[in-house]
Copies of this chain bind each other. A is one copy, B any other.
């Protein structure tokens, strides 16, 4: 048996996902954020267990990343393959919970990888740490 919706979306070539964390998670330096809570994953691009979006179809993609952390001066990095693309910055207001978000449109080839890496060890809150992407 198959999921009828998935068949329809595949015909329409739709690719879109949102994933987050089931519970707060601590990360060591240079780790990629993995996603234990998948809200949407149409087109199968996101591998939630390793945290990487593997581009299934060449095209233009829009990504949105939000993080919620407690570290002072906390941020995350969006990567395409092994290349740094941009920061997702929160603020420098000391050890308090805070959030930050950023977005980017990227041209991807099949197999390109997009993911979020933490440049320093951080404790991420599940309430507002999410990774979203969609094919334009």
CA separation between A101 and B67, bound complex, in Å? 10
Q: Please choose the segment from A23-31, A49-57, A88-96, A110-118 that sits at the chain B interface, where 4 or more of its residues have CB less than 8 A away.
A: A88-96
Smallest Cβ-Cβ distance to A67: which chain B residue: B89
State whether A93 touches B90 (Cβ < 8 A). Answer: no
Q: For the complex formed by this chain, how many copies does it contain in all?
A: 3
Mark each residue of chain A from 107 to 130: 1 if its CB lies under 8 Å from any CB of chain B, else 0: 100000000000000000101101
Decide if B98 touches A9 in the complex (CB within 8 Å).
no
Contact B89 A91, beta carbon cutoff 8 Å = no
Pick the residue among B64, B89, B93 that contacts A64 (CB under 8 A): B64
Closest CB in chain B relative to A128 CB, distance in Å? 4
The complex places the Cα of A92 from the Cα of B71 at a distance, in Å, of 12
Query: Once bound together, how far apart are the Cα atoms of A120 and B130, in whole Å?
Result: 22
Name the B residues within 8 Å of A62 (CB-CB).
16, 132, 134
In the complex, A1 has a CB within 8 A of chain B:
no
Does A136 have its Cβ within 8 Å of any Cβ on chain B? yes
CB distance from A132 to the nearest CB of B (A): 5
Q: Which residues of B contact A66 (CB under 8 A)?
A: 101-103
A127-B87 in contact (CB<8A): yes
Distance A105 CA – B132 CA, assembled complex (angstroms): 7
Question: A42-B105, A102-B130 are known contacts; what are 5 more A-B pairs with Cβ within 8 Å?
Answer: A39-B85, A68-B87, A87-B128, A90-B99, A91-B91
